[in-house]
Structure 1
């Protein structure tokens, strides 16, 4: 399966662990949706050609790491992941253009994003425990910052200016 470019798996409620992703060295699109028992995803670091990752509805998955080897990743969408507490390696996603963190109610921290110079869109919604927005300074291409339903948010790093944004919703 070394030539596989897209892997989309949906609604496999009994699967607890995914192994062997690292062997899919040509994979460009990964969609994991509706894995209600999934606790671990191993091999993400080996997906060096990955451009799009959509992980949604994996309610028991508590961490995604490391992500730093995904240097070609352009879109990262993490939705409806109430157990997710940590994501390691976001700062290494140098090609990332769109980051969406929606419904990650246990996520307390998002690391510094200031080195992601190609980032155009950041959408963070329903991350109820997130207290502080990561630094977005030096993101000259950032056009959309969407922050919604964040009751614990009490600090937005003012090191970033709003001059480049075409859309800002709070």
Structure 2
């Protein structure tokens, strides 16, 4: 019996020594390489009291009262645009957008507000970039302070995972900037 036990131990020890002769190397980090098409912008035509340039990748889904969604099928995201006529209620409208934006603070790592002003076109507003696993990654509003108010919210049709959607977020944030900078009110 002792010979069998010693033989088993020697065999197991030999297998252990033979199997450990290679170096152990850490696995390199892997990153997704997501490439999106170059954005081509064209003026959005509608009967609404505003116009802007939009990425041709985005599909317009019109809603009632000049509300619309800019759908990004390739990115699985939607930019929801809501238009409201100003009627002495500008403070309330701004307060509502800020309240909606900061409701994401529970899940957000950071909310970075940026003031926008284009006095020549009569466009003033605020863009909120939301970082982290919040439901919305960007919110904004623009207004002329007397007649027009447009707000936008970016949402993805996926569970919020900031690391995964980060490239798509950056792509659409550029579109938001172009939308705001090209926005014109009609009277």
What is the TM-score of this pair, normalised by structure 1?
0.21
Q: Which has the higher strand share?
A: 2
Who wins on radius of gyration, i.e. which is larger? 2
What is the TM-score of this pair, normalised by structure 2?
0.20
Higher relative contact order (CA 8 A, sep 6+): 2
